[in-house]
Chains A and B, each alone.
Chain A
Amino acid sequence: MFRLPFLFIATGLALFGLFNLATLLQASGWILQPPRSPSGWLFAHWLILGWATMIAMGAVYQLISVVLQRDVFSRRLGYVQFGVYFAGVLGLLTGFGFFRVQWIALFAVLALLGILLFVLNIGLTILQAARWNPITLSSATALLYLLLTGLAGFLMGINFAFGLWPEWHDPLFFSHIWMGTVGWFGLLITGFSYKMLPMFYLAHGISDRLPRIIAWLWNAAVLAGVVLFLAGFPAFGFGLSLGLLTLAVYAYNFYITKVRKARHKKNPGGGIRASVYSARALAVICSAALALMLIAPDLAKDERFIVIFAWAYLWGWVAMTILGYLSKIVPFLWWTHKYGPRAGKEKTPTMGDLLDDRQAAFVLAGVGLCLLAVMVGLGMEMAVWTRWSLGALSLFSLYYAFLIARVFAR
């Protein structure tokens, strides 16, 4: 299986490159706009739907057979899903770019249909596999939250266009963000990591007990937030769910420590190390955010505080983990396609030969440092500093995308 994951991953990489190019071309101006503005919506959805979700879908198609030990329900449906989702995302981004409400509405439906087809295809694969363990539990609930995120976004769009339920806009908005970021990305990353991390560290004999606890804690964090947002208690909802999420993140970090203690491979690669460091950083960020909210509960309503936390979670952990995992996923995808059929007949390179690991590690360290600078700039409200930091972040990200894309030429 090469073409289907390749389609998603190559498209996601291209959209990531364009995202960073657009940021540079407009001198990072969008970061100073309010997050709830056409510019904020455009760049947020570009990164989340165009890049992160596109890559995540490709990775799921590639890794589903590894995780479930059976092939995806329907490859053909996968291709249809790619076309529908890609068209929906492109149209939606164009709609945000020119702020055409009709376009946003039309293509949001198409993007939602693309998500629905993905959930159907992977959901049926999981059901057929009927192997209920922390990996499938996390993946299945991640899929559910992806679908609900899309539905909440769609309802917000309807509400925005026709003004049917103005009082529901904020509850839907908070739920949409929480289910998408913490639910979909959080559970997908942790779920797949239960398989990937032991594989890359060559760690054996890790029990399922801790991953099971993490999966339940993570789900509790998502559900507590959504229920309280919809019930009209956004500040309490954010506080309580952040507390549960912090517990889940600590448990996840403890799991990583267990894997590293049981490892038999010293160096899993710079990308995997970066994803581990980002998980450590997420524990610090969650603890700090929780402590600040306990001292000053009003921070739960403070837009600047929420935006900084969102940057830390989404860029600091989700994006860093995706970038890190790409350093393994892409060489594997390309090696099995190009060199797999030659193995045993002639000398072939190893996967490590396809990507300069030291360079990748260096660039990811640059991404991390620039992100820290962006967050400091946002926190201190230093406009020029923030724009320069985001510009530097985009340059490092572009170079990393180039390093990954270059694998396909080896």
Chain B
Amino acid sequence: MHLKPEEIRELLREVYDPELGVNIVDLGLVYEIRNDDGDVYIRMTLTTPGCPLHDTITRAVERLLEGQPGIRSVKVDIVWNPPWSPDKMSEEAKRQLGFFG
């Protein structure tokens, strides 16, 4: 029984940007999720290149998913193209940040 990408996306709401206090899914950082028979591939970005939380967030995603049933391996690919922009955030994230863009 393998987790579907949308189920993995829900799980990823447990990973927060600790500075902003918003989870990475609502921030719009997760671009692609694949699960090939237990080998999970995540393509995601960060709010800014050289983000000081690069390793922390990457490892948090790996740790969270490695403990899930049916997941054999996790590969997190940080990409800068397309670059993150504020319009990728969910309404909930915008509300939490007091967004007025």
Contacts and interface: CB of A to CB of B under 8 A. Distances in A.
Interface stretch (A162-170, A175-183, A345-353): A345-353
Interface stretch (A143-151, A264-272, A310-318, A367-375): A264-272
B59 interface: yes
Contacts of A67: 50
B56 A202 contact: no
Contacts of B99: 264-266
B98 A350 contact: no
A343 B19 contact: no
B70 interface: no
Interface of A: 63, 65-69, 195, 198-200, 202, 204, 264-267, 328, 332, 335-336, 339-341, 343-345, 348-352
A65 B97 contact: no
Interface of B: 14-16, 18-21, 47-53, 55-57, 59-64, 67, 85-86, 89, 94, 97-101
Contact of A69 (B20, B49, B53, B63): B49
B91 to A, nearest CB: 13
A340 B52 CA distance: 12
B15 A344 contact: yes
Contact of B86 (A204, A343, A350, A351): A204
Contact of B18 (A68, A264, A350): A350
24 contacts: A67-B50, A68-B50, A195-B50, A199-B47, A199-B48, A202-B20, A202-B86, A264-B94, A264-B97, A265-B99, A266-B99, A328-B19, A336-B52, A339-B18, A340-B56, A341-B59, A343-B15, A343-B56, A343-B57, A343-B59, A343-B60, A343-B63, A344-B61, A351-B19
Contacts of B64: 344-345
Contacts of A198: 48
B62 A69 contact: no
A199 B97 CA distance: 13
A344 B56 CA distance: 10
A91 B15 CA distance: 47
A63 B52 contact: yes
Contacts, number: 80
A22 B53 CA distance: 38
A266 B18 contact: no
A62 to B, nearest CB: 8
Contacts of A68: 50
Contact of A344 (B49, B51, B59, B94): B59
A198 B50 CA distance: 13
Nearest to B51: A66
Contact of A267 (B53, B63, B98): B98
- Of B18, B20, B49, B64, the most chain A CB neighbours within 10 A belong to B18
Which 5 interchain pairs have the tightest Cβ spacing?
Answer: A266-B98, A344-B60, A344-B63, A343-B60, A344-B64
Given A66-B50, A264-B101, A344 B14 contact: yes
B20 to A, nearest CB: 7
Given A343-B60, A350-B18, 18 more contacts: A63-B52, A69-B50, A195-B50, A199-B47, A199-B48, A202-B97, A266-B97, A339-B18, A340-B55, A340-B56, A341-B59, A344-B15, A344-B60, A344-B62, A345-B64, A350-B16, A351-B21, A352-B21
- Of A202, A332, A348, A352, the most chain B CB neighbours within 10 A belong to A202
